[in-house]
Chain A
């Protein structure tokens, strides 16, 4: 009997507490700095696409929502001919970002992607590409890895080491 009355009183007191609800469209929460939201493709500091179409992101993707086709551009670099992410399947796990060797694919703190039509959630390369460098401002993959020019192979110039033989077991 006493416990019932006490329960009523305790419940009643909650009326005067602050509401925990965040009134979303008017008030937005401060997102954590590493929030995993909409996926973008970034460019290097020179304004070139970073993606080298290595397929690591699409093979690591647990829901297989990334599709791309590798091609060679006029400079002889690997580029994706198309790059397609189906956001109606994406689970925002961030594995693609971890797998990416060139920091091309990145997750951003944007989550407002609702659509009325399901096909509108399929983003093509031009929808994904942004003009900036994203989280890694100074990074350019080819400056780190070196690249082949006419008369010089990879790692043959001064102050360069030959590339690692990935087919060998030796360190």
Chain B
């Protein structure tokens, strides 16, 4: 098979794999939430209810694809596709296994950060184009939250970059041969995890959609397929952040015994499960608490981590 053929195959595999994993999370999250709350969750359709995903998707695709008459039509339609495109594009730079990597660009990490920043536009435009109060409030919160958490999300990763000496995710995985970066970069890991929660707008950082306050926040007015894009987009975001945590801090596909791709998926699933545990356990903070937590605690922490890592790297070498 030619090189182009293999590349196309890898792209298709990664794309379909990411979509399947994210769609499967609809079921996985509900089952796990059920377990945390001592119930069963969906267990009727198929084996342990795995076909619940199919049922949910069928239902959501057959819903009326309604555009409110007061909405800004063009922007309203474009907004949900932005989040899908940007998050799916980020999967291109993640080394899933030694041979399964869509593209190894020099600045893979920056590409990921740029793409996750683009996702803000989706939320902001969706809320603005909906032209309703709750949507606008939701997107105002989303923009404030994501812009402030974007800052130290990038900063928390710079320690990893300093230690690995490269922005390429393949090199970062290669640099974790001896010791996973979670040990020397524990602070960076914690800060990145919290920023990742905020980026994917998950509970406890789900202020943009806060059901109990804002109906559904920025996607209040969305229905049918466009809502499905936001809905699945959130799960794709979680999958992406989990994969990034695994790649950056937990040695990527490295692990004894099992094949690399199995190790990668196992670690990713563990982090997805942890995301769901956080959702099941923690309440939502107030908006001002959220911002002061970000700027007054997380940002200095990320900066100190970066400075200390820089000093150590300068003094000792990598």
Contacts and interface: CB of A to CB of B under 8 A. Distances in A.
B183 to A, nearest CB: 19
A19 B40 contact: yes
Contacts, number: 33
Contacts of A159: none
A20 B39 contact: yes
B37 interface: yes
A20 to B, nearest CB: 5
A interface SS class: helix
B38 A8 contact: no
A69 B282 CA distance: 61
Contacts of B36: 11-12, 14-15
A34 interface: no
A61 to B, nearest CB: 36
B38 A18 contact: yes
A21 B277 contact: no
Contacts of A30: none
Contact of B35 (A4, A10, A14): A14
B278 interface: yes
B281 A21 contact: no
Contact of B38 (A4, A20, A23): A20
A151 to B, nearest CB: 69
B280 interface: yes
Interface in B64-100: none
B234 to A, nearest CB: 21
A49 B67 CA distance: 61
B38 A11 contact: no
Interface string B275-298: 001101110000000000000000
B277 A14 contact: no
Given A14-B35, A15-B35, A8 B277 contact: yes
Contacts of B37: 14
A117 interface: no
A14 B36 CA distance: 5
A7 B281 contact: yes
Interface in A1-52: 4, 7-8, 10-12, 14-15, 17-21, 23
A12 B39 contact: no
Contacts of A21: 38-40
Contacts of A18: 38
A21 B277 CA distance: 20
Interface of A: 4, 7-8, 10-12, 14-15, 17-21, 23
Given A7-B281, A7-B282, A12-B281, 13 more contacts: A8-B282, A11-B36, A11-B277, A11-B280, A12-B36, A14-B35, A14-B37, A18-B38, A19-B40, A21-B38, A21-B39, A23-B40, A23-B43
25 contacts: A4-B282, A7-B281, A7-B282, A8-B278, A8-B281, A10-B281, A11-B277, A11-B280, A11-B281, A12-B36, A12-B277, A12-B281, A14-B35, A14-B36, A14-B38, A15-B35, A15-B36, A18-B38, A19-B38, A20-B38, A20-B39, A21-B39, A21-B40, A23-B40, A23-B43
